[in-house]
Amino acid sequence: MAAETLIPAEVRARLRTLRLAGRRAAGGDGFGQHRSRSRGAGLEFAQYRAYEPGDELRQIDWKLYARSDRFFVREAERDSPLTAWVVLDASASMGQRSSARDPRSRLDVGRALAACVFELALAQGDRCGLAVVGGEGLQLLLPADAGARARDRATHALLALRAGGGWPPETALRPLWERIGAGQLVIVLSDDFDEGAVALMERLSAARREVLNIQLLTADERDFPFRGGHRFRDPESGAERISDGAAARDDFLARFAVARGELAARLAASGVRHVEHWLDAPLDAPLRRLFAPMAGERG
């Protein structure tokens, strides 16, 4: 199936205004859309300098030579590609749907966001890899690669995903450390309810990976619309609690707000950029918060 299955047409159109980038992410060899400090043949003019033996003749500005009778070489900022990773939580809690009126689950939205990241990487010539965590281990680990074939492999894998199991122990995630290099960009899509997921982000950030987190939250968690007797069930532990929805609402919303605030502060202290995404909001909203160009970068 094509990536269009995961990304609505109107969202795909809006993605064209976004640029996948990190504040400190390092690229690799080749050309992409991420400016480095090295000089050479590139896409954006930087300065002139005097010709030196060994310079390529095609870099000489012949019009300037005609005016000055001296050889000058046009230098440009060399652009280097970004390497990005999507880490998608596929534990059982990600199977929770947004609300009775919106049957999309956290996983549905998470894989659509993952597909958007791959589209941005494809448009920029950047490499992108995919890691899916759940079912007591790494369900999937696609190496970081560039091009349409890499995008299509990721799309096929995302469409086949099912939520299940809990967050695995730290030892089960060791392959991530072998694949994700220092300075690379890591985008974690999760409900952040598992301590292990938060600890992973903290460790990756401390190890000089640039970590971005999109926390996926349901409309029911925001609005708590339950009335009358209601059975609440933890999808991972199976624990159940019967409560009167209306009586529990204020206490739940207050506790939930405190927990979200504490998580945001904890991740910020670790250098992780964190945004919340309610499942009924526009799909590209969290990507716009993370990747929309600053005013000084436009133009």
Domains in the chain, please, with CATH?
Answer: 3-27+81-291 (3.40.50.410), 34-79 (no CATH)
pLDDT digits (tens, 9 = 90+) for 76-99: 544 557 899 999 999 999 999 998
pLDDT digits (tens, 9 = 90+) for 94-131: 999 998 889 999 999 999 999 999 999 999 999 999 99
- The arithmetic mean of pLDDT across residues 43-65, rounded, is 70
Chain mean pLDDT for the chain: 84
- The arithmetic mean of pLDDT across residues 37-65, rounded, is 64
pLDDT score recorded for residue 211: 97
Both ends of the chain: CA-CA distance in Å? 36
Closest to 217 measured CA to CA, from 281, 291, 133, 289:
281
Whether 46 shows a pLDDT value over 80: the answer reads no
Pairing outcome for strands 210-217 and 240-244: unpaired
pLDDT score recorded for residue 62: 84
CA pair distance 286, 229, nearest whole angstrom: 35
CA pair distance 97, 185, nearest whole angstrom: 28
pLDDT score recorded for residue 177: 87
pLDDT band at 245 (very low <50, low <70, confident <90, very high): low
pLDDT digits (tens, 9 = 90+) for 122-160: 999 999 999 999 877 899 999 999 999 999 999 999 999
pLDDT score recorded for residue 229: 62
What interhelical angle do 106-124 and 148-159 show, nearest 10? 180
Contact 148, 2 (CB under 8 A): no
pLDDT band at 36 (very low <50, low <70, confident <90, very high): very low
The tokens for 158 are: 């995302």
Instruction: State percent of the chain over pLDDT 70.
Output: 79
